[in-house]
Structure 1
Amino acid sequence: MLRFLFILLVSLVTSAQATTVRVGFQTGDINTLLMYAAQTGQFARNGVEVKLTPFPAGPAMLPALAAGEIDLAWMGEFPAVTGFSNGMPIEILMMERLDFTNVRLVVNPAAGIQTVADLKGKKVAVSVGSTSHNHLLRALSQAGLRQDEVTIVNLSPANMPPAYVAGQVDAALTWEPNVGLMEKAGARPIATTRSLGMITGGIWVARQAFTKDSPAAVQGFLKTWREAQKTYVANPSEVRQYEAKRVGQSAQEFDALIARQTASHPSFEQLLTADFMGPPGKELDSRLMKHLQAIGAFLVAEKRISATPANWAPIFNTRPIQDFLRAEKP
């Protein structure tokens, strides 16, 4: 009885001290660690009450961030660069996931498409100004085709499978779970992020004001993320079940989806290396920074933004991770 009362008291105290963090996530992408941490109360145990807000895709989160309606957002690199380039006071706290085959170009075999070169004159679904659009342009360039030699159909990821099944497009370029749905309907993959020599993944973006004003909440979020990563390594099925339920898949179906992604979740230590966000003071030389700058050039060329940032340095804020790692040391 005394043990029960003690646990109840600790729970009440933790709840009273918890800070509400408004988090945006994409319904059209896979959020394995986030759903696990939220559904099992991990955030609350670390003093963070997470309020999840769904969005169809990353670009839709930008107005919510600008209006201060959400504090953190899980998105791709393209909306983050778009928002930052347009003067939004946002910053990238970490790259949560690196994908190698999550983004795929799939084609309808009945349309006579065997290679990327066969896309000439065909209808291809992409989300214009996004990762999928950029992947398509790289694929076309490598095949010696121009963008105007295909008919681009601008669709959200969720609208691509119905368009494919209805025969409204001959090919599509997007990510899980929707690319997997098209493959289930007979589409055949002919290119991936890896085969095109590109990188992509998911990042956590924050309002600068939130990071500055709520450092304890940020640390609680990072602590939860660290714990979720460790649990995922030790017991993948335990962590995956919550996101599998959200997307309506069995454990076996979701395991197959994860295998198709070929994703990795870098540790905080890895994030502070040149392969990701760079060591402190050397962020501008990191692979991820070069990647973002290339995205900026793409967005300017496609007239999605008017110019790239004069100063890229503030787009990264690795100080919270640095503080976390220092505090974690015995």
Structure 2
Amino acid sequence: MFNFKRLFRRHFNFLLGLLSMALVILLAACTQPTATAPEAPDDAAAAGGGATPTEFRIGYQVIPNAEVLTKNLGLMEEKYPDVDIQWLSFDSGRDVNTAMVSGGIDVGLVGSVPASTGIAQKLPYQVYIIHDIIGDNEALAVTSASGITTMADLPGKKIAVPFGSTTHFSLLSALDQEGINPTDVQILDMQPQDMLAAWQRGDIDGGFVWHPTLSKMMEADGNILITAKQLAETGIITADLGVVNTDFAAQYPDFLTDYVAAIDAAVAFYREDPTAASEAISEEIGLSPEESLVVMDELIWLSAEEQASADYLGTPDAPGAMAQVLKDSAEFMVEQGAIPSAPELTAYKDAMFNKAVADAKS
């Protein structure tokens, strides 16, 4: 069986090193011309034609990744001026799953854990892109007043987390690693905005969450106890994924490929000129360009070509390892009593709409 966890740890560090090296080189090359914002990509499937929707409803989350950069740069609006492109903000993958069930969105961003449980519950969607691999941008922050300095201090404390999210999975996994029963910790279900308000009131001792909420909690006398990157290094993998309504993918596959190509152009722009990309992202997430660059670098941004490899989504002919990651995530949530059961691996392979990344890379 393919050992994705072992390969990911090696690939994670390799990619992180490449990104760090690229950043140093770009910052040092101050005499070089500044990169310009990418143009809208050419039609990725012009030769094959394909229908175009009259509207495109994107359920995004305020995360410093390529999708938010695509939004700010207006790449799809430039490519499809006659399509009513709607950017609908959601607080968590749980809310995106709800919107998918109700038919309120065509595509949405969910964490790998909400995606794994959504597939287990037969939600009408497929995974079409990996928006990012989660690193230091998700972490368990604790207040200085809580007196928490190690995981062993958590029993009896009030820790907030959005239930069913990647951070919920990370928190339960971290407790499991330390041999701490989750029932010994007061784990509270809170969305990021509610968590920040509770933190500011002093109602909670800590919270496992992502930026920009994490940054604001850190500014308000917070300390990091453990990060998703540290958990990833032990084989506990989380990611932000794009899911697409199954009927939409079947009806508009070429249009979806163009959306992936637009996101891929945003990834290339970030890699070429991270400073300019951070200035654009800062307008979306409420942090300064300098702060935005820090949190952007805490994620791993993958190109369409990288995603179409066996390490990640793969191709229609050769599904990648992400299906196994989702299967493993669902099995863990079954063990925790979050969902009643998880389907076989074939169900997760069938839920990979990897044609879009395979076509966008070519």
Shorter-chain TM-score bucket reads 0.7 to 0.9
Offset of residue 145 of structure 1: 1.2
Q: 2:80 aligned with 1:47, yes or no?
A: yes
Q: Is the 8 Å Cα contact of residues 93 and 318 (structure 1) preserved in structure 2?
A: yes
Q: 2:350 aligned with 1:314, yes or no?
A: yes
Q: Is the 8 Å Cα contact of residues 23 and 71 (structure 1) preserved in structure 2?
A: yes
Give the structure-1-normalised TM-score.
0.85
Query: Which residue matches 1:272?
Result: 308
Q: 2:247 aligned with 1:209, yes or no?
A: yes
Query: Which residue matches 2:338?
Result: 304
Q: Is the 8 Å Cα contact of residues 278 and 296 (structure 2) preserved in structure 1?
A: no
Q: 2:130 aligned with 1:95, yes or no?
A: yes
Aligned pair partner of 2:118 in 63, 83, 105: 83
2:229 partner SS:
coil
The structure-2 alpha-carbon separation of the partners of 1:135 and 1:173, relative to structure 1 and needing over 3 Å to count, comes to same
User: Which is worse superposed, 38-47 or 103-112?
Assistant: 38-47
Aligned pair partner of 2:167 in 127, 132, 141: 132
Q: Is the 8 Å Cα contact of residues 30 and 243 (structure 1) preserved in structure 2?
A: no
Aligned pair partner of 1:263 in 299, 323, 341: 299
Q: Deviations over 1:165-223 (max 9, x none)?
A: 22211121111111111111111102111222222221110011111101231122122
Query: Which residue matches 2:158?
Result: 123
- Matches of 2:64 and 2:93 in 1, distance apart? 13
Query: Which residue matches 1:172?
Result: 207
**What percentage of residue pairs aligned between the two structures are identical?**
26
Offset of residue 253 of structure 1: 2.6
- Matches of 1:194 and 1:31 in 2, distance apart? 16
Query: Which residue matches 1:9?
Result: none
- Matches of 1:324 and 1:278 in 2, distance apart? 13
CA RMSD for the aligned pairs?
Answer: 2.1
The structure-2 alpha-carbon separation of the partners of 1:18 and 1:231, relative to structure 1 and needing over 3 Å to count, comes to farther
Aligned pair partner of 2:279 in 193, 216, 241: 241
User: Which is worse superposed, 31-40 or 129-138?
Assistant: 31-40
Offset of residue 18 of structure 1: 7.5
Q: Is the 8 Å Cα contact of residues 18 and 44 (structure 1) preserved in structure 2?
A: no
- Matches of 1:162 and 1:227 in 2, distance apart? 36
- Matches of 1:62 and 1:292 in 2, distance apart? 15
Superposition pairs for residues 190-205 of structure 1, below 5 Å?
A: 190-196=225-231, 197=234, 198-205=236-243
Gaps of 5+ in 1: 1-16
Q: What is the one-letter code of the residue matched to 2:115?
A: A
- Matches of 1:175 and 1:268 in 2, distance apart? 24
Superposition pairs for residues 217-236 of structure 1, below 5 Å?
A: 217-236=255-274
Aligned pair partner of 2:66 in 19, 27, 33: 33
- Matches of 2:175 and 2:97 in 1, distance apart? 29
1:194 partner SS:
helix
Q: What is the one-letter code of the residue matched to 2:268?
A: K
Q: Is the 8 Å Cα contact of residues 129 and 302 (structure 1) preserved in structure 2?
A: no
Q: Is the 8 Å Cα contact of residues 129 and 260 (structure 2) preserved in structure 1?
A: no
- Matches of 1:99 and 1:153 in 2, distance apart? 22
- Matches of 1:89 and 1:162 in 2, distance apart? 34
- Matches of 2:53 and 2:176 in 1, distance apart? 51
The structure-2 alpha-carbon separation of the partners of 1:43 and 1:279, relative to structure 1 and needing over 3 Å to count, comes to closer
Q: Is the 8 Å Cα contact of residues 19 and 47 (structure 1) preserved in structure 2?
A: no
Aligned pair partner of 1:74 in 103, 109, 131: 109
The structure-2 alpha-carbon separation of the partners of 1:63 and 1:151, relative to structure 1 and needing over 3 Å to count, comes to closer
Q: Is the 8 Å Cα contact of residues 117 and 144 (structure 1) preserved in structure 2?
A: no
Q: Is the 8 Å Cα contact of residues 46 and 221 (structure 1) preserved in structure 2?
A: no
- Matches of 1:137 and 1:38 in 2, distance apart? 33
Larger radius of gyration: 1
The structure-2 alpha-carbon separation of the partners of 1:269 and 1:165, relative to structure 1 and needing over 3 Å to count, comes to same
- Matches of 1:223 and 1:143 in 2, distance apart? 42
Offset of residue 60 of structure 1: 1.0
Aligned pair partner of 1:58 in 93, 114, 118: 93
Offset of residue 62 of structure 1: 1.9
Q: Is the 8 Å Cα contact of residues 35 and 242 (structure 1) preserved in structure 2?
A: no
The structure-2 alpha-carbon separation of the partners of 1:94 and 1:66, relative to structure 1 and needing over 3 Å to count, comes to same
Offset of residue 279 of structure 1: 5.0
- Matches of 2:189 and 2:268 in 1, distance apart? 39
Offset of residue 31 of structure 1: 4.3
